[in-house]
Protein backbone atom coordinates (compact mmCIF):
# COMPACT_ATOMS: atom_id res chain seq x y z
CA UNK A 1 0.00 0.00 0.00
CA UNK A 2 1.32 3.47 -0.82
CA UNK A 3 2.15 5.87 2.00
CA UNK A 4 -0.61 8.13 0.71
CA UNK A 5 -3.29 5.41 0.90
CA UNK A 6 -1.99 4.22 4.28
CA UNK A 7 -2.22 7.73 5.73
CA UNK A 8 -5.63 8.49 4.20
CA UNK A 9 -7.15 5.19 5.37
CA UNK A 10 -5.80 5.74 8.87
CA UNK A 11 -7.24 9.25 8.97
CA UNK A 12 -10.66 8.04 7.77
CA UNK A 13 -10.69 5.14 10.26
CA UNK A 14 -9.69 7.37 13.17
CA UNK A 15 -12.20 9.99 12.03
CA UNK A 16 -15.02 7.46 12.03
CA UNK A 17 -14.37 6.22 15.58
CA UNK A 18 -13.87 9.68 17.09
CA UNK A 19 -17.04 10.89 15.35
CA UNK A 20 -19.02 7.93 16.71
CA UNK A 21 -17.78 8.62 20.26
CA UNK A 22 -19.13 12.15 20.02
CA UNK A 23 -22.37 11.49 18.15
CA UNK A 24 -23.72 8.13 19.40
CA UNK A 25 -24.53 9.38 22.93
CA UNK A 26 -26.61 12.21 21.38
CA UNK A 27 -28.49 9.76 19.12
CA UNK A 28 -29.11 7.25 21.91
CA UNK A 29 -30.26 9.86 24.43
CA UNK A 30 -32.90 11.05 21.94
CA UNK A 31 -34.56 7.66 22.52
CA UNK A 32 -33.59 6.83 26.08
CA UNK A 33 -33.43 8.85 29.28
CA UNK A 34 -30.77 8.67 31.94
CA UNK A 35 -31.78 7.86 35.51
CA UNK A 36 -31.28 10.37 38.33
CA UNK A 37 -28.37 8.29 39.63
CA UNK A 38 -26.55 8.44 36.30
CA UNK A 39 -27.21 12.17 35.96
CA UNK A 40 -25.81 12.73 39.44
CA UNK A 41 -22.75 10.74 38.38
CA UNK A 42 -22.31 12.75 35.17
CA UNK A 43 -22.53 15.94 37.24
CA UNK A 44 -18.96 15.23 38.35
CA UNK A 45 -17.58 14.72 34.85
CA UNK A 46 -16.55 18.36 34.16
CA UNK A 47 -14.34 18.90 37.20
CA UNK A 48 -12.94 15.36 37.26
CA UNK A 49 -12.04 15.24 33.56
CA UNK A 50 -10.45 18.69 33.56
CA UNK A 51 -8.46 17.86 36.70
CA UNK A 52 -7.37 14.53 35.18
CA UNK A 53 -6.21 16.24 31.97
CA UNK A 54 -4.25 18.77 34.04
CA UNK A 55 -2.75 16.35 36.57
CA UNK A 56 -1.71 13.81 33.92
CA UNK A 57 0.55 16.52 32.46
CA UNK A 58 2.27 17.00 35.84
CA UNK A 59 3.86 13.54 35.87
CA UNK A 60 5.93 11.41 33.58
CA UNK A 61 4.70 7.85 33.38
CA UNK A 62 6.89 4.78 33.96
CA UNK A 63 4.50 1.82 33.75
CA UNK A 64 5.02 -0.53 36.69
CA UNK A 65 6.77 2.17 38.72
CA UNK A 66 5.80 5.40 40.48
CA UNK A 67 5.52 8.32 38.06
CA UNK A 68 8.10 11.11 38.31
CA UNK A 69 7.19 14.78 38.58
CA UNK A 70 7.29 16.86 35.41
CA UNK A 71 8.86 19.89 37.12
CA UNK A 72 8.56 22.42 34.25
CA UNK A 73 4.82 21.73 33.91
CA UNK A 74 4.29 21.71 37.68
CA UNK A 75 6.11 25.03 38.15
CA UNK A 76 4.30 26.62 35.17
CA UNK A 77 0.98 25.56 36.72
CA UNK A 78 1.63 27.92 39.65
CA UNK A 79 1.49 31.25 37.79
CA UNK A 80 -1.23 29.81 35.54
CA UNK A 81 -3.50 29.00 38.49
CA UNK A 82 -2.69 32.33 40.11
CA UNK A 83 -3.62 34.17 36.90
CA UNK A 84 -6.90 32.21 36.85
CA UNK A 85 -7.74 33.36 40.37
CA UNK A 86 -6.74 36.98 39.68
CA UNK A 87 -8.07 37.49 36.16
CA UNK A 88 -10.84 34.88 35.67
CA UNK A 89 -10.04 35.44 31.97
CA UNK A 90 -9.15 32.42 29.79
CA UNK A 91 -7.08 34.43 27.33
CA UNK A 92 -4.90 35.81 30.13
CA UNK A 93 -4.63 32.36 31.73
CA UNK A 94 -3.44 30.70 28.50
CA UNK A 95 -0.90 33.43 27.73
CA UNK A 96 0.49 33.32 31.29
CA UNK A 97 0.72 29.51 31.04
CA UNK A 98 2.55 29.46 27.71
CA UNK A 99 4.93 32.29 28.66
CA UNK A 100 5.67 30.64 32.04
CA UNK A 101 6.60 27.30 30.48
CA UNK A 102 8.56 29.01 27.70
CA UNK A 103 10.57 30.97 30.32
CA UNK A 104 11.15 27.91 32.49
CA UNK A 105 12.50 25.98 29.49
CA UNK A 106 14.68 28.94 28.56
CA UNK A 107 16.12 29.08 32.08
CA UNK A 108 16.80 25.36 32.46
CA UNK A 109 18.02 25.23 28.88
CA UNK A 110 15.87 22.26 27.88
Partner 1 sequence: MNAELTIKSAIHETLPTVFGYLGIGIAFGLVGHAAGLSPLMIFLMSAIIYGGSAQFITVSLLAAGSPILSIVAATFLINSRMILLSLTIAPYFKRKSLADNIFIGTLLTDESFALGMNKLNYTAGELNFPWLNTANLIAYLTWVSASLIGGLLGNFIQNPERFGLDFAIVAMFIGLLYLQVIADKSLNYLLQITVIAVTLVLTYLGMIIIPSSLLVLVVTIIGCLLGVSLKKIWPQTH
Q: Nearest approach, Cβ of 69 to partner 1 (angstroms)? A: 10
Report the residue number, 39 or 71, with the smaller CB distance to partner 1: 39
Number of residues that bind partner 1 (CB under 8 A): 79
Provide the 10 A C-beta neighbour count for residue 60.
11
Helices (H) and strands (E) in the chain, counts: 5, 2
Let me know the angle formed at the C-alpha of 85 by 80 and 87, rounded to the nearest 5 degrees.
85
For residue 86, state whether it binds partner 1 (rule: CB under 8 A): no
> Binder to partner 1 among 2, 26, 35, 36 (CB under 8 A)?
26
63 binds partner 1 (CB under 8 A): yes
Query: Quick one: which of 2, 23, 36, 71 contacts partner 1 (CB under 8 A)?
Result: 23
Amino acid sequence: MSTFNYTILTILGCGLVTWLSRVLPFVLLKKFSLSETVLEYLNFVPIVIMSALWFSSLFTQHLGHLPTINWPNLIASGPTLLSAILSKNLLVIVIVGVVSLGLIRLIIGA
